[in-house]
Chain A
Amino acid sequence: MTSNQRKVYGDVLVQLGKENQKIVALEADLGKSTMSNLFGAAYPERYFQMGIAEANMISAAAGLALTGYIPFVSTFAVFASGRPYDQIRSSVCIPKLNVKICGSSAGLSDFGDGKTHQSIDDIAIMRVLPNMTVLSPADGAEAEKMMRLMPEIEGPVYLRLNRNDLPVVTDVDGAYEFGKAQLIRDGGDAVIFATGVMVARALEAAEALSAEGIALRVVNVSTIKPLDREGVRKYASDVKAVMTAEEHSVIGGLGSAICEALSEARVPVRIMGIQDAFGRSAAAYDELMAKYGLTADAIVSNVRDLLK
Chain B
Amino acid sequence: MEIKRLNASELKRMTLRVRSNILDMIPAGKVGHLGGSSSIADVATVLYMGHMRVFDDPKDPARDRLIFSKGHAVLAQYACLVELGYFDREELHHVKTLTGLLQGHPDMSIPGIEAVTGSLGQGLSVSLGMALGLKLDHSDSRVFCVLGDGELDEGQVWEAAMAAGAYGMDNLCAIIDANKVQATDTVQKVLPNPDLAAKWSAFGWHAIEIDGHDIDQILAALEQARSTKGKPTAIIANTVKGKCFAFAEGKAQYHNAAMTEEEYREARETLERMGRELA
Interface of A is mostly: helix
Alpha-carbon gap, A95 to B130, bound state (A) = 15
Question: Which B residues touch A113, using CB under 8 A?
Answer: none
**B108 in the interface, Cβ–Cβ < 8 Å?**
yes
Question: Which A residues touch B155, using CB under 8 A?
Answer: 55
**Does A66 lie within 8 Å of B156, measured CB to CB?**
no
Residues of chain B from 104 to 150 with CB closer than 8 A to chain A in the complex: 107-108, 114-119, 121-123, 125-134, 136-137
Alpha-carbon gap, A293 to B114, bound state (A) = 48
Interface string of A53-72 (1 = CB under 8 A from B): 10111111111111111010
Q: How many A-B residue pairs have CB under 8 A?
A: 104
**Does A86 lie within 8 Å of B119, measured CB to CB?**
yes
**B162 in the interface, Cβ–Cβ < 8 Å?**
yes
**Does A67 lie within 8 Å of B159, measured CB to CB?**
no
A56-B159, A91-B116, A94-B116 in contact; A67/B122 too (CB < 8 A)?
Answer: no
**A5 in the interface, Cβ–Cβ < 8 Å?**
no
**Does B156 lie within 8 Å of A59, measured CB to CB?**
yes
**Does A60 lie within 8 Å of B136, measured CB to CB?**
no
Question: Which A residues touch B134, using CB under 8 A?
Answer: 67
**Does A62 lie within 8 Å of B126, measured CB to CB?**
yes
**A50 in the interface, Cβ–Cβ < 8 Å?**
yes
Alpha-carbon gap, A64 to B118, bound state (A) = 19
Interface of B is mostly: helix
**Does A48 lie within 8 Å of B132, measured CB to CB?**
yes
Alpha-carbon gap, A56 to B130, bound state (A) = 13
**From A51, A66, A89, contact of B163 by CB (8 A):** A51
Q: Looking at the assembled complex, report how far the CB atom of A94 sits from the nearest CB atom of chain B, in whole angstroms.
A: 4
Question: Which A residues touch B127, using CB under 8 A?
Answer: 63
Counting chain A residues whose Cβ lies within 8 A of the other chain, the interface size class is: 20 to 34
**From B130, B136, B137, B160, contact of A66 by CB (8 A):** B130
Q: Looking at the assembled complex, report how far the CB atom of B112 sits from the nearest CB atom of chain A, in whole angstroms.
A: 14
Interface string of B91-114 (1 = CB under 8 A from A): 000000000000000011000001
**A24 in the interface, Cβ–Cβ < 8 Å?**
yes
**A173 in the interface, Cβ–Cβ < 8 Å?**
no
**Does A87 lie within 8 Å of B129, measured CB to CB?**
no
Given contacts A56-B159, A63-B115, A90-B122, 17 further A-B contacts (CB under 8 A): A55-B122, A55-B155, A55-B156, A60-B126, A63-B127, A63-B129, A63-B131, A63-B132, A66-B114, A66-B126, A67-B130, A68-B133, A68-B137, A69-B133, A87-B122, A95-B107, A95-B115
